[in-house]
C-alpha cells in the first residue's frame, strides 16, 4: 500500500510540476509577445511622426528655409521685394534676394518699366508717337522684356513673411529703368561710327569702363550750349551755374559729325539700354566745350 501510495504521489508531483512549468512558459511567452508589440508600436509611431514631419515640410513648411527670426518685429505685411533674375523657365522667374523665389508670371500679372528719361534737344522737334520718340513713357512690357541679370521689383498678394514654400504668383513686376545716356571719351572715329569709352552705373554692379559703338544717323542731333568768354578768375559758365551770370544766356550751337574728334569728351543719348547693349544709334551727341573744365572720370 505504501509503495502504491508513493507511486501515486510521485505521478501527482510530476503532473503538478508539468502544469506549473506549462503555465510559466505561457506567461513567459505572453510577456515576450507583449514587449515585442510595445517595441513595434513605438517604432511605428516614430516612423509615422517622421513621415508627418516630411509631409509638413513639403506641403505646409518652408522647403528647408526657416521663417525669418524678425517676423515678430516686422509688424507690416511684406508683399514686395526686389532681387536679381537668375534664370527664366517658361512663365517662372527665379529671383534671388538671399533666398531664391520662383515667381509665377500669369495672364493677370502686370509688367511695367519706369518712364525713359527725357532727352533735351536744342534744335530737333521730337515726335509724339511713342513708337518713334524714345523720350516718351514706355508701354506695358511682357515677360519677353525680362532678362537674366536684371534687378526687378515684384509685388504679390501673399505675405512673404509667412509664405509656405518659395513659389508665388506675381501681381505686378517693375523692370529697371532704361539707361540711355553715356558720358565718356571718343576713342575711335570711322565714318559715321564712333567708339566711346564710358562708365555706366547700375543698381547691381560696380561701374565698369566699357567701349560702346555708336552710330550717327541722319536724325542724330549734335549740339551744345555755348557761353561768351568770362573774365579771368571767374567760374566758367555751365548749365548748372549759369545763374552766376544771368545777363549772358547760353547760345545753342549746332554741330556736324566733322566737329567730333578723338579724345573729345561727349555725352551721348542713345536709342538702346546701355546696361544691356554695347551698340546703339545716337539720338543726340553733346560735345564738351573745349575750354570748359574736363569731365570728371567716375
Check residue 249 and give its pLDDT: 76
Distance (Å, rounded) from C-alpha 164 to C-alpha 166? 7
* Contact between residue 72 and residue 134 where contact means Cβ atoms under 8 Å apart: no
* Contact between residue 167 and residue 100 where contact means Cβ atoms under 8 Å apart: no
Per CATH, the number for 80-174 is 2.40.50
Query: DSSP code of 149?
Result: T
One digit per residue, the tens of pLDDT, for the chain of length 298 reads 555 555 455 455 555 444 545 554 454 455 556 667 767 777 878 888 777 766 655 544 444 445 554 455 556 788 898 999 999 999 999 999 888 999 999 999 999 988 877 888 999 887 544 444 444 455 678 999 998 988 999 999 988 888 888 899 999 999 988 889 999 999 999 999 999 999 886 666 677 889 999 999 999 999 998 877 665 655 555 555 555 555 567 889 999 999 999 999 999 999 998 988 999 999 999 998 765 444 344 3
Sign of CA dihedral 60, 64, 69, 71: negative
Check residue 129 and give its pLDDT: 45
Phi, psi of 46 (to 5 degrees): -65, -40
3-state secondary structure of 54: helix
Q: Domain coordinates of the chain in residue numbers?
A: 1-60, 80-174, 181-287
Beta bridge partners of 93: 88, 103
Check residue 265 and give its pLDDT: 94
Distance (Å, rounded) from C-alpha 285 to C-alpha 270? 9
Amino acid at each position: 500500500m505504501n509503495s502504491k501510495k508513493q507511486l501515486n504521489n510521485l505521478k501527482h508531483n510530476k503532473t503538478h510540476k508539468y502544469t506549473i512549468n506549462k503555465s510559466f512558459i505561457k506567461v513567459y511567452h505572453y510577456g515576450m509577445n507583449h514587449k515585442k508589440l510595445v517595441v513595434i508600436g513605438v517604432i511605428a509611431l516614430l516612423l509615422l511622426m517622421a513621415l508627418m514631419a516630411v509631409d509638413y515640410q513639403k506641403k505646409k513648411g518652408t522647403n528647408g528655409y526657416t521663417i525669418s527670426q524678425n517676423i515678430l518685429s516686422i509688424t507690416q505685411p511684406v508683399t514686395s521685394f526686389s532681387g536679381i533674375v537668375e534664370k527664366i523657365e517658361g512663365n517662372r522667374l527665379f529671383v534671388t534676394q538671399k533666398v531664391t523665389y520662383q515667381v509665377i508670371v500669369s495672364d493677370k500679372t502686370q509688367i511695367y518699366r519706369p518712364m525713359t528719361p527725357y532727352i533735351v534737344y536744342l534744335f530737333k522737334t521730337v515726335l509724339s508717337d511713342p513708337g518713334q520718340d524714345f523720350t516718351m513713357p514706355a508701354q506695358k512690357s511682357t515677360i519677353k522684356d525680362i532678362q537674366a541679370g536684371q534687378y526687378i521689383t515684384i509685388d504679390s498678394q501673399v505675405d512673404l513673411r509667412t509664405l509656405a514654400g518659395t513659389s508665388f504668383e506675381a501681381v505686378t513686376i517693375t523692370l529697371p529703368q532704361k539707361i540711355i545716356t553715356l558720358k565718356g571719351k571718343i576713342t575711335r572715329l570711322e565714318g559715321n561710327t564712333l567708339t566711346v569709352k564710358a562708365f555706366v552705373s547700375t543698381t547691381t554692379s560696380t561701374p565698369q569702363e566699357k567701349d560702346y559703338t555708336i552710330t550717327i544717323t541722319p536724325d542724330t542731333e549734335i549740339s551744345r550750349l555755348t557761353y561768351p568768354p568770362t573774365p579771368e578768375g571767374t567760374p566758367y559758365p555751365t548749365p548748372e551755374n549759369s545763374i552766376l551770370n544771368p545777363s549772358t544766356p547760353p547760345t545753342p550751337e549746332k554741330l556736324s559729325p566733322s566737329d567730333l574728334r578723338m579724345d573729345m569728351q561727349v555725352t551721348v543719348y542713345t536709342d538702346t539700354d546701355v546696361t544691356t547693349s554695347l551698340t546703339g544709334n545716337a539720338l543726340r551727341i553733346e560735345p564738351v566745350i573745349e575750354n570748359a573744365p574736363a569731365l570728371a572720370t567716375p
